[in-house]
Chain A
């Protein structure tokens, strides 16, 4: 951790000043104990064969990691995680931006709909899961019923290997598109209106205006929302827990759910910790690489 040194407060005398340590101390110490230490502890665990029943666990070096690399279930989970993160975040960015543009028309009563749309992302994903399991139930769910009424044959949403992953992504889109929408909309509201007016005077069409003026101005908000959502989609496991429990045939088992199963269901702490640690590393590398690429692009555009 970075050491908190005495403050060089503006224009104050040279006397040692404890303001910064006093203000920051509790927060930093707390997080050191309950966030940093567990992270280090987790790394240590990943190098042992600790299970729920076997005492302290023996040091096994990199064995857990070696086993992981040859575990097809791990690679399956890794692939699923990539699919979930990439496809759901992409869809959410596109739909969220479309929603923001739509709400920018400021129709009467749109604030009510905005209030409704915020609701899903506040709800526990397990409950979201159970809700959609009811809606999509193959025997009595209302969605298949409605589809049948308009002449579409029923879909095996969650029960079939081909559809389960797509369905999970759809539910994630339902829950989290409003997040992107709120972020992009807020940015849209903060933009200077005269830019749009001057473009309008120049006679640019709606689509042209959007492509060449609005979208670049929205870019920072899109990057923020995209990274935020990608990280959350990658690290969360509760939607899987509530919606599919990883099935059928492990087609919806993501990395975090794989780690959860190893740690909780099979009580294989060491192995679970190794998965979790690889996730952490992927997260750090992934986000910093992503931010760098986006930064480069932004600089090139100038």
Chain B
């Protein structure tokens, strides 16, 4: 066997391969992060500088930065949009967990007629096109008099995140051997006590994963919000961002960039927290 390819010794070839791999790795990282960095840089420039400085210089005028973010957070209302999103998404996610976890437990543990059929129906709702239900949901919410209110958003959002929550928690319940249930029941626990006192503490990571992915699923939703919310008072961050930076009309780029940055930061913080859970959340249902 020849020990050299392209005139290199085996060792040199190995070093070359390693180096090349690291170059590729770094490039991948750049492709992933550069768009965010670019957006952040643009948000620090004056309107006129964005058009004239190509590429943008890496010098910052903090007074300009302060002005831009002041306008975005206060005048354009992004600050209150973030709060609205936290409130709406937080509440909807809690409700989803509250009614989704018992359901997931039932699907994982109890045998009853139509069990798998029902589970499939619920899980398939994860794939429902929002466009199909947006108008009916809007008309329903209007009928109940919840138009342009937090409740009006929370009601449909629970329905959106429920399938995600059920899907992920079923996977976590399935991992716990049912002998644990049995022995707890021999000790005199009822089904509900088993769930509440024994299993919930064990699947806490599962609940966190389910909550996070259910939350992200609705955090980015804005079609239904577009119908239900009229006033700026109740806009969520994705709706606010969508109306501020829509591709429909020309925009001020420094403002648009700052809106983007403000919209990304909560997700960025969340993604740092969820690194541990992210693979489990994404691969729910993929690996059995």
Contact = CB atoms under 8 A, between A and B. Distances in A.
Contact of A126 (B26, B192, B222, B275): B222
Interface in B144-173: 155-156, 158-159, 162-163, 166
A241 B249 CA distance: 11
Interface centre among B24, B158, B219, B220 (most CB of A within 10 A): B220
Interface in B48-107: 50-56, 98-100, 102-103, 105-107
A24 interface: yes
Main SS at interface, chain A:
helix
Interface-centre pick from B26, B227, B259, B282 (highest chain A CB count, 10 A): B282
Contacts, number: 281
Interface stretch (A58-66, A138-146, A293-301): A138-146
B226 interface: yes
Contacts of B246: 126, 241-242, 245
Contact of A5 (B21, B38, B107, B113): B113
A116 to B, nearest CB: 4
A290 interface: no
B159 A30 contact: yes
A41 interface: yes
B13 to A, nearest CB: 14
Interface in A1-28: 1-10, 19-20, 22-24, 26-28
Contacts of B270: 122
Contacts of A107: 21-22, 25
Contacts of B110: 7, 9, 19-20, 23
B106 A20 contact: yes
Interface residues of B, number: 98
A27 B220 contact: no
Q: Give the dominant DSSP class at B's interface.
A: helix
B287 A122 contact: no
A75 to B, nearest CB: 18
B42 interface: yes
Interface of A: 1-10, 19-20, 22-24, 26-28, 30-31, 34-35, 37-39, 41-42, 45, 99, 102, 105, 107, 109-110, 112-113, 115-120, 122-127, 129-135, 139-140, 142, 145, 174, 178-179, 182-183, 186-187, 190, 220-221, 224-225, 231-232, 234-235, 237-238, 241-245, 256, 259-260, 263-264, 269, 272-273, 275-277, 279-280, 283, 287
Given A38-B137, A135-B35, 13 more contacts: A2-B118, A4-B118, A23-B102, A23-B110, A27-B103, A37-B136, A39-B136, A130-B256, A142-B55, A174-B35, A231-B127, A256-B131, A283-B127
